[in-house]
Amino acid sequence: MRSGQPELATRGLYPNDQREALSPSASFEIHQRARIRLPSSLCKPSLRTYFDWEDSWNDDYAKRPALLDLFAGGGGAAMGYYLAGFRVVGVDLKPQKHYPFEFHLADALTYPLEGYDAYHASPPCQGESNMTPVRYRSRTPTATMIQAIRVRLIETGKPFIIENVTGARKHLVTPVKLCGSQFGLPIFYHRYFECHGFYCLSRSCHHNYKPIVASGGPNANGWGKPRPHASVATRREALRNDWMTGEELNESIPWQYAEFIGKYLMEAVKRGKA
């Protein structure tokens, strides 16, 4: 290991020709940072143990550009967009009691889209996921939902993102791939982001340390064979996401991915308003 720069290598910040492989058996160190802060107007009493919260942010929060989070789930994507500077409003067909932001119980394919500065959509991926047994895949029309939501979002004329899993990337238009290894996270989930109205440059993905979870791509067990999932407690700690249940975590994207791509989206929103 190049002395003094091990962390850079771990995070994939060396160009390919300079990167030095870590031992696959090296255990990944989980870095703890300060907890996420929310304005108190958002922070439901039931979620206050998970977040720090502050009164003085309320006015500022109301003035932020608004992002509509379609197929919101437990709010993994939402948290990233919030950290990138958006005011986030979520829509999901099922009640989401842990969703940390304003929430509407509704069908994303018919919910009114007017009045937002940007959009994110994560249609359910079970129809294309290698985690779903083949015989159940036809129950979820992932490709049809991606196409339907794309048509609606194009009509808004605003920048937007459609996200999905590796199996669905053939239904996305020139998507950007994000992986936990690009963020120094001990998970190798691959997620694909179709970006409309802006460009996003992603860092290269590398799998040269041992993850706690790998899915959706080549890993120690071969392509498409996920390693057994780590415990919920381990995943919550590793992803710095302690407000979700295990089931919500399974469906969510790491908020770090959405924060990264959300910063590009925010630039596009600002350009649109300038």
- For ligand SAM, the binding residues (CB under 6 A) are 71-77, 91-94, 107-109, 122, 124-125, 251-253
How far apart are alpha carbons 246 and 233 in whole angstroms?
8
Instruction: Specify the residue, 140 or 204, whose C-beta has the smaller distance to ligand SAM.
Output: 140
Quick one: 39 or 76, whose CB is closer to ligand SAM?
76
Distance, in Å, from the CA atom of 218 to the CA atom of 223, rounded to the nearest integer, reads 4
Residue 102: beta bridge partners? 89
Give the amino acid at 24: P
Write the DSSP string, 79-110: HHHHHTT-EEEEEESS--TT--SEEEES-TTT
Residue 93 Cβ vs ligand SAM, minimum distance, rounded to whole Å: 4
Q: How far is the CB of 73 from ligand SAM (least distance, A)?
A: 3
19 vs 98, beta carbon nearer ligand SAM: 98
| Alpha carbons 121 and 106: distance in angstroms, whole number | 14
CB of 47 to ligand SAM, least distance (A): 15
Nearest distance from residue 75's CB to ligand SAM, in Å? 5
Nearer to ligand SAM, 184 or 254 (CB): 254
Cβ neighbour number for residue 116 with a 10 Å cutoff:
19
Decide whether 117 or 248 has the Cβ nearer to ligand SAM: 248
CB of 135 to ligand SAM, least distance (A): 20
For 152-175, b/e burial (b = at least 16 CB within 10 A) is bbeebebbbbbbbbbbbbebbeeb
